[in-house]
Amino acid sequence: MRILFEMDKKDYIPNGSVFSRPSARAIIIKDGKIAMVYSKKYNYYKFPGGGIEADECMEDALIREVLEETGLCVVKSSIQEYGQVHRVQKGTKEDIFIQDNYYFLCCVKEDLEQQKLDTYEAEEGFTLEFLKPQFAIDVNRKTVLDDFRQIILEREALVLELLIQEGYFGGK
């Protein structure tokens, strides 16, 4: 999978303890809009998706996470690699947090199922929205969170900008 970009805050202790958490994220485009998960509590947008469990392949994690966070059912045969973002920063528990985020273009079925949110996702008020990508970029760049989560907002904005530049929303 191609590397889209790397984000290394260099705010950690070199050679410290490491926690690695790979994730799979969905790029779902419909009628010129992108499917994003909105946090009502913190006012930001993220791509649907999340952590890949030890016993899962990336595609299965993608399908599970999208269904849990949004209620959308990914069509497995539609999944195509888009790119990877490598993130490194000071962890909240370990010295170094490493996350490889794997982004996939995919289609979803028309029917919407019930969300199955984790406790923190429910507390944040995760909701599915289809919106113009520039709106999500603008919101994420105006929202200020703690150091650990701020990088997530910029990561999502940068991926959205790449999608726009590469013509996924018309133009170019």
Is 29 a domain residue? yes
Measure the CA–CA gap between 124 and 50, rounded to whole angstroms.
15
CATH for 77: 3.90.79.10
Is 56 a domain residue? yes
Q: Residue 81, Cβ neighbours under 10 Å: how many?
A: 13
Is 139 a domain residue? yes
pLDDT attached to residue 171? 62
Domain range enclosing 136: 3-165
> Per the structure block, which two tokens stand in for 122?
């429910």
Is 171 a domain residue? no
pLDDT attached to residue 170? 81
Measure the CA–CA gap between 97 and 124, rounded to whole angstroms.
22
Is 172 a domain residue? no
Is 108 a domain residue? yes
pLDDT attached to residue 2? 97
- List, for residues 7-42, the tens digit of each pLDDT value: 999 999 889 999 999 999 999 999 999 999 999 999
Is 22 a domain residue? yes
Is 135 a domain residue? yes
Asked whether the CA dihedral 102, 85, 90, 153 is positive or negative, the reply is negative
